[in-house]
Amino acid sequence: MLTQVSKWRQLRFKHWLNQRIPAANSLSLNKRNIFIFPSWAGLAYLAVSLAIFILATNYESNLSLLLCYWLLALFLILLYLSYFNLSGMALSASPLKPVHVGDRLQLEVSLQSNKKHFHLNWLDEVNTQIKQTSPGREIIKLSWNAKRRGNWVLPRVKLFSQAPSGLFNVWTYPDFNQQVLIYPKLIACPEYAFGTGKNTTKEGDLNQPLQGVDFQGLKNYQKGDSLSRVAWKRASFSQNWQIKHFEQTQDQQIWFSIYKVQADSIEEKLSKLAWLVTNAHHQEITYGLQLSHIELDPAQGESHLKMCLEQLAKHP
């Protein structure tokens, strides 16, 4: 029951906040979207002022009374100054770039204003702080950990400050209206680097793992190389093992298939596939990707890689 009430409250708050600060790529701070409240220190300050007032009244000391009123007047002025510290600033966020799981998502927010701002704090995952911004444009980078594969929606970001006196908390919750795909983590699997072939159940043609590659020569064996490619005949009379090195010819194309990659879980499979397509892209190999929900025909280039990774990220 209680949790329901609090949930309902949270929902109300969210609704109210959405009306107050609608999601937008950019936001200029004004009285509509800045919240201000005395901090604990501010309350303590008021308490001290009250104590001084009592002292002044009881001892009938005019000077202490003057001090008390002066402190209260300062409190009011500092209220304005705290508000003005944030107001007039324009925030705008540049689009998020997709990353892999485990990497850091970076949001670039550019701050523009014609005056100095002090002591800005951002409630991202590393609690970014700016001590002072000068008039003009400044860019800050907020970062989050990319934890889960798939679509990631940027939460409301909290920007708060206690400057100039620490008596007030001034804050705002901009929603930059951003979302981004988080690609699977890259797990190296060199054994499939030259293609896994397509799943045979769907189509008749079998393309062998090493089909469409030419023998180029021998290379020294390194850990991680596939044992199947060791030149055993040479190994018998030579000290060092060597492996047969194949070069992809330009017009050859290979397939990566989720059905052929061996791994413990589906996530690991996707991770391996992500590495495979990235690797193939760097080696300028033409490759296709077969997933359980979609099939991408062999191609090359940035946009193809992007499409492959996107599909891997969206994999159910």
Partner 1 sequence: MKQRQNTSEPILLSTVLLVCAANLVVLFYQSLENHFNAFFFFLVCAAVRLAPFFFPQFKLKRRYEISLFIIALIIILTSIIGKDILATLFTLLVCLQSLTILRLFSTRELKTCVWVLLFLVAANLLFFFEFQNVVILFMAVIVALSALINHFCNYNIYKEAVSRMINIALLALPVAVILFLVMPRLPPLWKMPKVESQSRGLQDKIRFGDIAELSQSSNLAFRASFDGQPPKTSQMYWRSFVLQNFDGNIWQRSEYMESWQKLVKTRRSGVQWKNLQAPAVNYQVITEASYQNWLFALDLATSRQQGVISLPDFSLYSSETLTQKFRYQVTSYPESQLTDFDNNQIKQLNLQLPNVANPKTEQWVKALKQQSTTDAELIQAVLNYFNQQDFYYSLKPEVLESPKIDDFLFNTRTGFCEHYAGTFTYIMRLAGIPARVVVGYLGGEYNPAGDYFSVYQFDAHAWAEIWQADKGWVRIDPTSYVAPERVEFNLQQAIGNDEFLAERDFSLFKYDQFAAIRTMRMLISNLDYQWTLWVLNYDATKQKDLLKKLFGETSGLAFTLKLAFLILGLFSFIFVVGWLLAHKKSPQSQLQRLQQKATQKLAKKYQIQRRQGQTLRQLKRQTQQHSEALAQNWQTFCQHFEQLEYAPLSQAQFKIHYRACQQLIKQL
Partner 2 sequence: MDKLSSIIINKISDVVLGKEQQIKLALSCLLAKGHLLIEDLPGMGKTTLSHALSAAMGLSFSRVQFTSDLLPADIIGVSIFKSDSHEFNFHPGPIFNQVVLADEINRASPKTQSALLEAMAENQVSVDGKTYPLDDPFFVIATQNPLYQSGTYPLPESQLDRFLMRISLGYPPKTAELEMLQQVQTEKQDYAQFACITATELTEIQQAVNHIHASDSLLNYILELVSLSRQSSEFPYPLSPRASQAILQAAKAWAFIEGRDFVTADDVQAIFPAVTEHRLSPALNAASPDTSYSQKLLDAVDPV
**Cβ proximity to partner 2, 22 vs 136, nearer residue:** 136
**Cβ proximity to partner 1, 152 vs 168, nearer residue:** 168
Amino acid occupying residue 20:
R
**Cβ proximity to partner 1, 65 vs 218, nearer residue:** 65
Binder of residue 25, out of partner 1, partner 2, none (CB less than 5 to 8 A by kind): none
**Cβ proximity to partner 1, 44 vs 294, nearer residue:** 44
Binding to partner 1 by residue 37, rule CB under 8 A? no
Q: Could you list the residues that contact partner 2 (CB under 8 A)?
A: 94, 106, 108, 110, 112, 136-139, 141
Binder of residue 19, out of partner 1, partner 2, none (CB less than 5 to 8 A by kind): none
In angstroms, what is the minimal distance from the CB of 148 to partner 1? 24
Q: Which residues are CB-contacts of 29 (< 8 A; sequence separation ≥ 6)?
A: 86, 87, 88, 89, 90, 91, 172
Nearest to 155 by CA among 133, 174, 181: 174
Identify the residue among 45, 183, 194, 275 touching partner 1 (CB under 8 A): 45
Contact (CB, 8 A) for 137 and 111:
yes
Q: Is 39 buried (19+), middle (13-18) or exposed (0-12) by CB count in 10 A?
A: middle
Total residues contacting partner 1 by CB under 8 A comes to 55
The piece of 27-35, 125-133, 209-217, 245-253 that touches partner 1 (CB under 8 A) is 125-133
Binding to partner 1 by residue 163, rule CB under 8 A? yes
Give the other-Cβ count within 10 Å of 159's Cβ: 25
Contact (CB, 8 A) for 124 and 142:
yes
Identify the residue among 74, 218, 230, 263 touching partner 1 (CB under 8 A): 74
Binding to partner 1 by residue 36, rule CB under 8 A? no
Q: What is the DSSP string of 62-92?
A: HHHHHHHHHHHHHHHHHHHHHHHHHTT-EEE
CA distance 259 to 292: 8
Binding to partner 1 by residue 56, rule CB under 8 A? yes
Binding to partner 1 by residue 230, rule CB under 8 A? no
**Cβ proximity to partner 2, 102 vs 136, nearer residue:** 136
CA distance 204 to 197: 12
In angstroms, what is the minimal distance from the CB of 139 to partner 2? 4
Binder of residue 137, out of partner 2, partner 1, none (CB less than 5 to 8 A by kind): partner 2
Say how many CA atoms lie within 13 Å of 177 toward its Cβ.
10
**Cβ proximity to partner 1, 128 vs 226, nearer residue:** 128
Identify the residue among 118, 173, 241, 246 touching partner 1 (CB under 8 A): 118
Binding to partner 1 by residue 80, rule CB under 8 A? yes
Alpha helices in the chain (DSSP H): 2-20, 40-59, 62-86, 232-235, 266-282, 302-314
Q: Among positive and negative, which fits the CA dihedral 270, 274, 275, 280?
A: positive
Q: What does residue 67 show for φ and ψ, rounded to 5 degrees?
A: -60, -45
Contact (CB, 8 A) for 261 and 273:
yes
| Binding residues for partner 1 (CB under 8 A) | 41, 44-45, 48-49, 51-52, 54-74, 76-78, 80-81, 84, 87-88, 114-115, 118-119, 126-133, 138, 140, 162-166
